[in-house]
Structure 1
Amino acid sequence: MEKLKIAVVDASETHRYQLEKLIKNNSSLELIGSYRNAIQAKGEHINQIADLIFLDVEMPLINGFDLLDFYKDTPEIILISDKAEHAVKAFEYNVTDYLLKPLNKERFTRAITRVKNNLKLKADSQNNAHLFVKSNFRKVKINFSDIKWIEALGDYIKLVTKTSNHVVLSSMKAFEKQLPTEQFIRIHKSYIINVDRVENLNHAIVEVDGKQMPISRKRRPSLMNALGI
């Protein structure tokens, strides 16, 4: 199995060293970078090259949450902190795990196992061109090609397909990570569309199967690029 590429971002030299040691002692992991603050990490674009980032919450100037807000796309994220009080906010960001300092080997190993399971599920979903969602207390198989668009509904999303609609407990950001990036694009904070199903568009509106949805100004260039326009 290919090694997981891991980056560490932590303001504490002691905790960076502890994490680096745990990573280097695991033959399935590869440390590709270690940074003492978020500014360094931003400059190295680690979100584009790492499979997993261990990210300190409490850092000066730019904290862990600020860095997650900056990234458009993120790999698996494990937040680390001295305080348990950030855990609720952490999982609003759909992080893979939340570890309290000082770290111990057993808890570290469990977190790595969770990351590997997540990555396997994502790979299987992409390879099989479908995913499973929990809707109305049952798991439903959804083919990517059948999805027309995804719409935000508070703490839920509405998944609109060619045969039915499904209301799923998920954030838009979390669900977007499960979709093939070459096929789906977020055009607005409230909408993700299947680019293969676009029928019409202008500078402000895109139409999918008769449904008109707004295009946010900052997301318009990405949509045009995805459509080859």
Structure 2
Amino acid sequence: MKKYSYIIIDDDAESILKTKTAASGFSELSFAASASNFQDGLNLVLEHKPALIFLEIEPRDLSSHLSLTFISELHRYFQDIPKIIITTDKKDSAFDAIQYGVFDYLLKPVAHIDLLKTVLKLKKANLESKSSDLTEEQPSIVIDNANSVTIPQNIQKPLTICIKSYGDYRYLNAEDICYFQADNNSTDIYLNTGEMITAFKTLKHFESVLTYPFIRIHNSYVINRNYISRIHSGNSICYIKNSTKKIPFSKTYRANVEQIIADFAAGNYLEV
């Protein structure tokens, strides 16, 4: 029988205990550790590499910094991240959680029957994975009136963002985007060429569908970490490469900026 190790990340000690108690009723689930804040939770995941993470995204203690951005952070370190099971007492963030590709969304306190459904889904996913490993993946064929083009679907392609408006399709390479700036109910997208394009979606929408290296640092800005040339903590400002643009960051998102600084330091890095 396959075992699934799990970590619980929740700022409420009582909730951790209740989730652990519910999970103890399933021999397939093996408890590894628990944490009450973003950084401790991340450290535990990197250390234990669990199959599952039970994650609270609407904490009572805001200083815990628990949110869906925890999932984005995992993508920095894992090719395939653990399966995320959201455990919270509100339904409000269910749609946003789906955009992050979570495996399941359970309301607290976690009920036995709900967790049973999750375990059954895990087993089904495991069987389907084994089945696909035994079957050679066939490439799909894209055909038009002139040509037939074979495109292997298992090749990872760079993300393309399509800005659609009244039959007009504008295609952007995500890696060319420096930052997004909110403009009421629309969002201005700034490219590394200096060009600006407006999309009729809110900044919150882009934050919910994009993952690392795109990071929210202000109510009005989501920034591409790869285009940051300087961070001035005293003035709460980020500078953009090859640009005079200065982007402010707010106290609400200071933890995200600290993660960016830590990310730079974790690379091929020399501080003088």
Provide TM-score, normalisation by structure 2: 0.48
Counterpart in 2 of 1:28? none
- Is 1:77 the counterpart of 2:77? The answer is no
Counterpart in 2 of 1:7? 7
What's the offset of the Cα at 1:45? 2.6
**Cα-to-partner distance string for 1:106-125 (whole Å, 9 max, x where unaligned):** 45444785xx9xxxxxxx99
CA distance in 2, matches of 1:55, 1:201: 30
Instruction: Pick one of 174, 179, 201 that aligns with 2:208.
Output: 174
Counterpart in 2 of 1:222? 260
CA distance in 2, matches of 1:105, 1:87: 20
- Report the 3-state secondary structure (helix = DSSP H, G, I; strand = E; otherwise coil) of the residue aligned with 1:79: strand
Percentage of matched positions with identical amino acids: 15
CA distance in 1, matches of 2:162, 2:5: 28
| Residues 154/22 of structure 1: CA separation in 2 closer, same or farther (3 Å cut) | farther
CA distance in 1, matches of 2:178, 2:186: 17
What's the offset of the Cα at 1:206? 1.9
Alignment of 1:137-216 (within 5 A): 141-153=171-183, 157-161=187-191, 162=193, 165-167=197-199, 168=201, 171=204, 173-177=207-211, 179=212, 181=213, 184=214, 186-194=216-224, 197=227, 204=237, 206-207=239-240, 210=243, 212-216=245-249
Instruction: Report how many aligned residue pairs link the two structures.
Output: 200
CA distance in 1, matches of 2:164, 2:185: 14
CA distance in 1, matches of 2:86, 2:215: 27
For structure 1, list consecutive stretches of 5 or more residues without a partner in the other structure: 24-30, 117-123
**Cα-to-partner distance string for 1:81-106 (whole Å, 9 max, x where unaligned):** 5x5xx111455566623224222534
For structure 2, list consecutive stretches of 5 or more residues without a partner in the other structure: 10-15, 75-82, 129-152
| Residues 207/68 of structure 1: CA separation in 2 closer, same or farther (3 Å cut) | closer
What's the offset of the Cα at 1:15? 0.5
Instruction: Pick one of 129, 132, 152 that aligns with 2:158.
Output: 129
Provide TM-score, normalisation by structure 1: 0.54
Counterpart in 1 of 2:106? 99
Counterpart in 2 of 1:53? 53
Does the 8 A contact of 2:178 with 2:227 survive in 1?
A: yes
CA distance in 2, matches of 1:214, 1:90: 30
**Cα-to-partner distance string for 1:118-156 (whole Å, 9 max, x where unaligned):** xxxxxx999312144574488865323321212245676
- Report the 3-state secondary structure (helix = DSSP H, G, I; strand = E; otherwise coil) of the residue aligned with 1:73: helix
**Cα-to-partner distance string for 1:175-203 (whole Å, 9 max, x where unaligned):** 442x4x3xx55554432334555688876
- Report the 3-state secondary structure (helix = DSSP H, G, I; strand = E; otherwise coil) of the residue aligned with 1:69: coil
- Report the 3-state secondary structure (helix = DSSP H, G, I; strand = E; otherwise coil) of the residue aligned with 2:70: coil
What's the offset of the Cα at 1:220? 7.2
Alignment RMSD = 5.2
- Report the 3-state secondary structure (helix = DSSP H, G, I; strand = E; otherwise coil) of the residue aligned with 2:21: helix
Rg: which structure is higher? 2
CA distance in 2, matches of 1:125, 1:212: 38
Does the 8 A contact of 1:187 with 1:220 survive in 2?
A: no
Q: Match of 1:45, as an amino acid?
A: N
- Report the 3-state secondary structure (helix = DSSP H, G, I; strand = E; otherwise coil) of the residue aligned with 2:92: helix
| Residues 154/216 of structure 1: CA separation in 2 closer, same or farther (3 Å cut) | same
